[in-house]
Amino acid sequence: MTETPPEHLSEPLSLDPSCWSPQDIYYLNAALIVPRPIAWVSTLSSDGVSNISPHSYFNGISDDPPYVMFSIEGETDTYANLRDIPECTISFVTEDLASAMELSAVKFPSDEDEFEWADLEKLESECVRPARPKSAKACLECLVDRIIDVGNVNHMIILKVVHYHVSPEIWDKGRINMETYRPIGRLGGQYTKMGSRFKQRRPTWIEIRNANSTGVKQSVEVTSCD
């Protein structure tokens, strides 16, 4: 029997997920697994129509060589396109691109070019057929490695990254500059901008053991990055 989530908790929630509807589990996951990066995925249909849509069930999974994944719910245009042309670009969504990204999430008919509706200029990719949005500050060009069906309706797309594009304005001292990058993240049904940043120095096992032998509990040093 499907239960509805309680309005308030008088004791900790202890939940068998099969007791709630998939929609309520989505609300729970989407609020607990946060902040999520947003993959702005551009694909191309077999008829040559460009598509771009956001996917926040997204993450990196390997660096040697680089692979990423995202998950599609249902038989969307992105899914159909990846079955036909197994290539895509993934752009990262920064604050300045938030509204264009939202527009691109509208369920447009399959034969509509979402770059045009979201007012996005296209750039040709180096290694894949789908275009990439010119305004993105960072973009990956990817080849589909495999598609794994997960659960009743999801398709996990595992992608090999074959090319990176990074704009000079978010690059500093050989790394991405978090100050200028300004990615947004998905937070339940909301979004978040970058908050304050900090570093923690991770002690070694030897430090923890030495501190412990003198009766001291090793602490973690925290420094602000702002």
* Site membership for ligand FMN, residue 105 (CB under 6 A): yes
* Site membership for ligand FMN, residue 71 (CB under 6 A): yes
Closest distance to ligand FMN from the beta carbon of 112 (Å)? 9
Give the number of residues in contact with ligand FMN, rule: CB under 6 A: 17
* CA-based nearest residue to 67, from 144, 128, 133: 144
Task: Kindly identify the residues of this chain, within the stretch 26-45, that bind ligand FMN according to CB under 6 A.
Answer: 38
Number of helical (H) and strand (E) elements in the chain, helices listed first: 6, 15
And the tokens for 32? 């607990």
Closer of 103 and 211 to ligand FMN (Cβ):
103
Radius of gyration of the chain (CA): 21
Closer of 78 and 89 to ligand FMN (Cβ):
78
* Site membership for ligand FMN, residue 152 (CB under 6 A): no
* Cα 70 to Cα 183: distance, rounded to the nearest angstrom: 17
The distance from CA 118 to its chain's CA centroid, rounded to whole angstroms, is 19
* CA-based nearest residue to 37, from 65, 64, 61: 61
Closer of 119 and 179 to ligand FMN (Cβ):
119
Task: Give the footprint of ligand FMN on this chain (CB under 6 A).
Answer: 38, 51, 53-57, 71-73, 76-78, 102, 105, 107, 186
